[in-house]
Amino acid sequence: MAKAKLMDYDKALELFEPVLGFEVHVELSTKTKMFSAAPNNFGSEPNTNITPTCLGLPGSLPVVNEEAVRYSISLGLALGCEIAESSSFARKNYFYPDLAKNYQISQFDEPIAINGNVEVELPNGRIVQVDIERAHMEEDAGKLTHVGGSTGRIQGAEYSLVDYNRAGVPLVEIVTRMIEGAEHDAPELAKAYVATIRDIVIALGISDAKMERGNLRCDANVSLRPRGSDKLGTRTETKNVNSLRSVERAVRYEIQRQAQILADGGTIIQETRHWHEDTGATSAGRPKSDADDYRYFPEPDLLPVVPDPALIEELRAALPEKPADRRRRLKADWGFTDLEFQDVVNSGLLSEITETVAAGATPQAARKWWTGEIARLANAAEGDEGIDISPAQVAELQQLVDEGTLTDRLARQVLEAVAAGEGSPREIVEAQGLAVVSDDGALIAAIDEALSAQPDVLEKIKDGKVQAAGAVIGAVMKAMQGKADAARVRELVLERAAAL
């Protein structure tokens, strides 16, 4: 694949205005598929979660999963959409073996939810309103593995193997209206928009929302409009973007690629492009089909969905707080500075800190642990397993510090033991005898010994050179194996030196 020429990003923004649009697919975490009672499980052996309906076998009939409809309505409401009084399914016809029946059941002219709006907050604090055109229900397709050829990609493959476990998994596709005015922030907006959708579906509890598993997938539409023109440019649709970071990179790449082509006098081809994580580039896919070519028609095997208004109100009342509202509330409750709060949001630690505060720690103490020592341990942990520390354990650890049982240094030591699975902080303190020695008698004995071992230091302290006490404090802390409060040791050293 020849590497495309890219224009410098700032220069591209000087010449053009980026116009964006997103299609986000959310896999719902129902127990069964959209139109059949096959299990909706990730990671099963190939072709074990299939029914005749998933395979489109003759005589099989789809029946709508009621829970999937409820999830879809909840999602529509959370996106600020109107729920359609009546909505219906349609067949989207195409030939590709990821679905065995040569069509996908989707929604076309009567989607379940329309005309919504989501508030997206960018890392720089800017808030952008993204209008939602529609959210519709459909089924996912099966998974193809291309075999043969050198790259493992479809190009050069000799044949493909198909696993239909994913065929028929419930999906909601969320389509935005055209987004103008993102300007320089376009790549960040792309990432923040997908993160917002992820936060919403997680808060609703309707999807596992793991991008690396394809639970949440984003197609990013990008076009460029020359400055001073009101004519929209030709757009491309980048697919296969499966991480938040990739969404941002892919949009930035397309802006730079298209800008270079246009500046060189070329034209943008309306097409699907594939994002390649390894090279950080997009490559041309198929030319974008006209909607007409899908020959949509009403699905004769399924009846309209006409939700009871009482159900809609029940689901509306059960909606969780919007992620943007929650952030505003937490920031005010916790009293963090903008910088502190943004750090917490960007690290994805809102829930951990909320729970740690609920378990009794102060917000600042919770923030300090999660963004500091725990983040450091997590980064140092090998592999992608992460580390297992609960908010309750963090609150307990902080309590041990507050009551004087642990110094900060000892607390960090205990935290490592918690991460290693050795038990709760209190159990570890007891098992390892890590508590601070708060018995002044024991401290004084150690201090007297250290002072008599270093008579010259004692003289200096007596002469008023209190900074000389450091050597004695060091010796005492060593004798106590670090299990002493250094400030208290210092006090006692000065007292004893004066008395001797």
Partner 1 sequence: MSDISAEQVRHLANLARIDLSDAEIATMTTELGQIMEAVASVQAVATPDVPATSHPIPLKNVYRADVVADVIPTDKALASAPEHDGSRFKVSAILGEEQ
Residues that bind partner 1 (CB under 8 A): 30-32, 37-39, 45-52, 55, 63-69, 86, 88, 93-98, 104, 141, 144-146, 148, 154-155, 157-164, 285-286, 293, 295, 298-300, 302-307
Please, which residue, 289 or 346, has the CB nearer to partner 1? 289
Q: Which residue has the tokens 């802390």?
A: 477
Please, which residue, 226 or 285, has the CB nearer to partner 1? 285
The tokens for 441 are 């008698």
Q: How far is the CB of 64 from partner 1 (least distance, A)?
A: 5
User: What is the greatest pairwise CA distance in the chain?
Assistant: 101
Please, which residue, 178 or 284, has the CB nearer to partner 1? 284
Please, which residue, 30 or 256, has the CB nearer to partner 1? 30
Please, which residue, 104 or 256, has the CB nearer to partner 1? 104
Residue type at 9 in one-letter notation: Y
DSSP H helical segments within 176-286, as ranges? Answer: 186-204, 244-263
Q: At what angle do helices 323-334 and 338-346 cross, to 10 degrees?
A: 130
- The answer to whether 165 touches 44, Cβ cutoff 8 Å, is yes
The tokens for 459 are 């003289």
Integer Cα distance of 296 and 299 in angstroms: 9
Please, which residue, 144 or 435, has the CB nearer to partner 1? 144
Q: How far is the CB of 107 from partner 1 (least distance, A)?
A: 12
Please, which residue, 65 or 221, has the CB nearer to partner 1? 65
Question: What's the distance, Cα to Cα, between the start and end of the chain in Å?
Answer: 82
Integer Cα distance of 338 and 276 in angstroms: 35
Please, which residue, 229 or 289, has the CB nearer to partner 1? 289
Q: Which residue has the tokens 């938040």?
A: 244
Q: How far is the CB of 24 from partner 1 (least distance, A)?
A: 16
What value does the CA radius of gyration of the chain take, rounded to a whole number of Å?
A: 30
DSSP output for 448-488? HHHHHH-HHHHHHHHTT-GGGHHHHHHHHHHHTTT-S-HHH
* Full 3-state SS string of 325-388: HHHHHHHHHHCCCHHHHHHHHHCCCHHHHHHHHHCCCCHHHHHHHHHHHHHHHHHHCCCCCCCC
Q: How far is the CB of 216 from partner 1 (least distance, A)?
A: 17
Cα dihedral 404, 407, 413, 419, rounded to 10, equals 50
- Closest among 216, 172, 180, 221 to 74, alpha carbons compared: 172
Q: How far is the CB of 223 from partner 1 (least distance, A)?
A: 21
Integer Cα distance of 10 and 4 in angstroms: 18
Please, which residue, 216 or 389, has the CB nearer to partner 1? 216
- The helix/strand/coil state of 129 is strand
The tokens for 273 are 């492009």
Q: Which residue has the tokens 């917002």?
A: 196
Cα dihedral 256, 259, 260, 263, rounded to 10, equals -160
Residue 315: other Cβ atoms inside 10 A:
21
Please, which residue, 47 or 362, has the CB nearer to partner 1? 47
Please, which residue, 105 or 120, has the CB nearer to partner 1? 105
Q: How far is the CB of 109 from partner 1 (least distance, A)?
A: 9
CB environment 258-295: b (16+ within 10 A), e (fewer): bbbbbbeeeebeebbbbbbeeeebbbebeebeeeeebe
